[in-house]
Structure 1
Amino acid sequence: MDTLTHALSGALVGRMLAGRKAFAGTLPGAGPQAVIGARPPVWQMVVAGTVAATFPDLDFVLGWISELTYLRGHRGVTHSLLLLPLWGLAIAWLLARFWCRGGRPGADWRSFYLVVCSAIFVHILGDLITQFGTMILAPFSDRRFGWGTSFIIDLPFTGILLAGLLASTLWRSSRVPAATALVLLAGWVGVQATGRSEAIDAARAYAAAQGIPVVRLDAAPRPASPFNWTAIVFDGERYHYAHINTRRSEALVATADDNFIRRFSAPYLPVAMAQWQVGERFGNGDGRALAEKVWQAEDFAFFRWFAMFPVLDHVERDASGQVCAAFRDLRFATPGRGREPFIYGLCGAAGDWRLFEREGEVRRWIDVR
C-alpha cells in the first residue's frame, strides 16, 4: 500500500484504541510527570498510530545507498513481525519522551505501546495483501510473503479509512465509527479475495480447455476494480496470461474523455472474451542459450529472488557488439501503463557482465556494488 493509506490506517487504529481504561500510578524514579497507565488524550493516540504506521516505510532511505540495496531491503526489517515488539518499544518510548519534555505531565511509554504495535502490525497487513512481497521473517529469512488480493494503490480502501476518520471527528466520544471502518475494510479485502479466486478459476478452466500442463496457477491484482485481474498459467516453460474482469459480461468501452477509473478498467475483458498471450521464460529462438546464461548468472541473483512471473523481454546485440538479455515480471504488466517497471538484464559475457535496467528505450547501467 502507499504511505498515505498506511498513515490513515494507523490513525484509525489509534482512534479505535483511544479511550481504553487504564490504571494510574507514578512511574518510579521518573518524577511526577510520567504516569503509569495514564490515559493519553485521543489526539495523542491518533498521532501515535499515524507515526507508527508510517515508520516501516522509512526504509526508503536504502535508496540513498543504491537502487539494488533498496530492492533487496524494501519491506525488510522494518516490516518484520519478529522485530515488531522492539520497534514498538522504541517508538512508544520516543513518543512518551517527546510529550513529557520540559517537565510537562504525560503518560509513560506503556500507555502508547499497544497502539504503536497495532499500527505497525496493520501496516504489515496492508503490505501483505498486495503482491509485491513482504519479508515478515527478516532478518532471519528474506522470503517475500504476499497474499495478492489487492492492488498497491486502492482508492476504495483508502476511502474507507478516510470515511472512518471523518466520522470519528463527528462522533468524538465513540469508537464505533473507527471499528465500523475496520470491519468494512476486512469485508472489502474479502471481496477482492473472491475476485482473485474467480480469476484463478478462469486460468484453470483455460488451461484445461487448451490442454496446457499446469505447473502453477496465479492471478495478479489490477487497479480500478476488485474483479480486474491478470490470470496466469505457468506450464514450466512459458506463462499464458490474460487481462480479465471476472464479473463483466461485455467489453467496457472507454474514450479519452472518460474518467480515469473507466479508462483503467476498460482493458480487462470478460472471461469469455479473454485474449490470452504467451510470455516465454527464456525464448524459443537463437537467443535462448544467452537468456539462460543471463538468468543463471551470479550478477542476476537479485532478480531471480525478486521476480514472481519472469519472462524474457528481449535478446539483442548492441552497437558495441555486446550481447544483452533482459527479463521483465508479469506482476507489473499493467495494461495502459506508460512504462513497465523493473525490467533488468545483463550485457557482456560470463565473468564480465554489466547489469542494466531498461527504461522505455533507454538502457541505464547499474552499479552492483
Structure 2
Amino acid sequence: MDTITHTLFGLSLYGTVNKEKMDRRTRMAYLVTAVGASQIPDIDVISQLWDTEGLYQMWHRGLTHSIFLTPLWAALFYVLCLVFFKVKDRRLFFLGWLASIIHVTSDLFNAWGTGYLEPFSQMRITFGTIPIIDFVFWILIAGAYFLSRKKPIGNRPVYFRTAWILIALHVALQSFQGYYFHQKYSHDYEQVALSAGFIPTTFQVITKQDEKVTIYEDGIFQPKQTLYVLESREDADLDYLFANNPAAKTLYEWSPFVVIVDDDEQIGVYDPRFYRQGQSFLFESFDR
C-alpha cells in the first residue's frame, strides 16, 4: 500500500485503543507505536543509497517486509517507548506487532507483491486484488474519525473497530472476486496475473500464452474488454541483457512474468501489470 494508507492504518489502530485512563506520555507512546510500526517495514527504501545496480527492485519490499521480522519491529518500538516516554506496557509490543503485520500482509494484496517469507524464500507473493491506493480504506477510516470525534473518549474505539471489520470484509470480497477471475482465465492461458482497479469489483487481468500477452479489463458489473495485445520476444538473449543491466534480472525474477522487447535499438523486459498508454512503469533495458 502507499505511505498515506499505511499512516491511516496506524492512526486507526491507535483509534481502537481505549485511552480513557491514560496519561499524556502513555497516549504518545501508543500513538508513536501504532503509526511508527505501521511504517517501519518501508525503511528498506534506504537501500537505494548503496544499491546502484538495481539489485533490489525499486529498493523496496524485500527482507524488511518479511513476516518473520515483525516481532523485531514490535520489540524496537517497545524499547523506544521505554527509553523516550518511560512507559513500560507490554501491550505496546503487541500493538506494534499487529501494526507491522498489517503493513506486510496488506502489501500482499496489490500488484507489487512482497518478500513475505524472506529470508527462507525469495518468492514474491502478490494477489493483485487490492489497488496500491484503495480509497475504500480511506473512506472507512475517515468515517470512523468523523463519527467518533464528538463522542465520549471511552466510546470512540468502537467506531474504529467497526471500520477495521469493514476493511477486512472489503479485502475478503475483493479477493473472492480476484480468485474467480484468476480461475476463469487460467483455463485458457498459461499464465495469469491480476491488477485491481481503483473502482471496487474491477480488475485488469493480464494473460500470457506463448509469445502473446493480452491485458483485459473485467469486473462483476462490467463486460470483458480487451485493452492491449502485446508481443513478447521469447527467443531474445536475456543473458546478454542481464549482464549489461542487472536490474533487468531483478525485474525478471520478481515479476510473475514479463514482456520481452528485442529490436535493433534495445533489448529489455517490462512488467505488463503496470502497462499504461504504450509503456510500463517497470521497464529495464539496454541499448544496443
TM range (shorter): 0.7 to 0.9
Question: Quick one: which of 126, 138, 142 aligns to 1:146?
Answer: 126
Cα separation, partners in 2 of 1:194 and 1:137, compared to 1, 3 Å = closer
The answer to whether the 8 Å contact 1:203/1:232 transfers is no
Cα RMSD, aligned residues only: 3.0
| Structure 2 partner of 1:50 | 35
Q: What is the aligned counterpart of 1:240 among 202, 207, 214?
A: 214
Contact 1:222 1:228 in 2 (8 A): yes
In the TM superposition, residue 228 of structure 1 has moved relative to its aligned partner by 2.1
- Superposition deviation, residue 124 in structure 1: 1.2
| Structure number with bigger Rg | 1
CA contact (8 A) 2:57 2:251 kept: no
Alignment partners' CA distance in 1, 2:253 and 2:184: 28
Tell me the distance in 2 between the aligned counterparts of 1:197 and 1:73.
29
Q: CA deviation at 1:305?
A: 1.0
Following superposition, the deviation at residue 158 of structure 1 comes to 2.0
Instruction: Summarize the alignment of residues 121-160 of structure 1 with structure 2, pairs less than 5 Å apart.
Output: 121-160=101-140
- TM score, norm. by length of structure 1: 0.68
Deviations 1:120-156 (A, max 9, x none): 1111122111121111222333221122210101111
Q: How many angstroms does 1:202 deviate by?
A: 5.0
Q: Distance in 1 between matches of 2:149 and 2:41?
A: 27
Residues 6 and 54 in structure 1, CA contact (< 8 A), matched pair in contact too: yes
Residue ranges of structure 2 left out of the alignment (5+ in a row): none
Please give the residue correspondences for 1:1-369 in structure 2 after superposition, counting only pairs within 5 Å: 1-19=1-19, 41-66=26-51, 68-71=54-57, 73-100=59-86, 107-108=87-88, 110-171=90-151, 172-174=153-155, 175-200=157-182, 203-204=185-186, 207=188, 214-223=189-198, 225-248=199-222, 270-271=223-224, 274-275=225-226, 277-282=228-233, 288=235, 290-294=236-240, 299=246, 300-317=248-265, 324-334=266-276, 340-348=280-288
Greater RCO, 1 or 2 (C-alpha within 8 Å, sep 6+): 2
> Structure 1 residues 53, 229: CA separation in 2 closer, same or farther (over 3 Å shift)?
same
Instruction: Tell me if the contact between 1:76 and 1:134 (Cα under 8 Å) persists in the aligned partners.
Output: yes
Work out whether residues 214 and 226 of structure 2, in 8 Å CA contact, stay in contact via their aligned partners in 1: no
2:75 corresponds to which letter in structure 1? L
Residue aligned with 1:83, SS: helix
State whether residues 279 and 312 of structure 1, in contact with CA within 8 Å, keep that contact through their aligned partners in structure 2.
no
Alpha-carbon distance, 1:179 to partner: 0.9
The aligned amino acid for 1:83 is L
Q: Distance in 1 between matches of 2:212 and 2:238?
A: 14
* Residues matched between the structures, number: 283
- Superposition deviation, residue 310 in structure 1: 0.5
Contact conserved, 1:48 with 1:115, CA < 8 A, in 2? Answer: yes
Contact 1:130 1:149 in 2 (8 A): yes
Give 1:279's aligned amino acid. Answer: L
Letter in 1 for 2:92: F
Q: Any conservation in 2 of the 1:228–1:243 contact (CA below 8 Å)?
A: yes
**Percent identity over the alignment?**
23
- CA positional deviation for 1:220: 1.9
Give the deviation of 1:201 after TM superposition: 5.2
Structure with the higher fraction of residues in helix conformation: 2
Q: How many Å apart are 1:240 and its aligned residue?
A: 2.7
SS at match of 2:6: helix
Q: Secondary structure at the match of 2:118?
A: coil
Does the 8 A contact of 1:199 with 1:246 survive in 2? no
| Alpha-carbon distance in structure 1 between the residues aligned to 2:25 and 2:127 | 35
Distance 1:109 1:72 in 2: 37
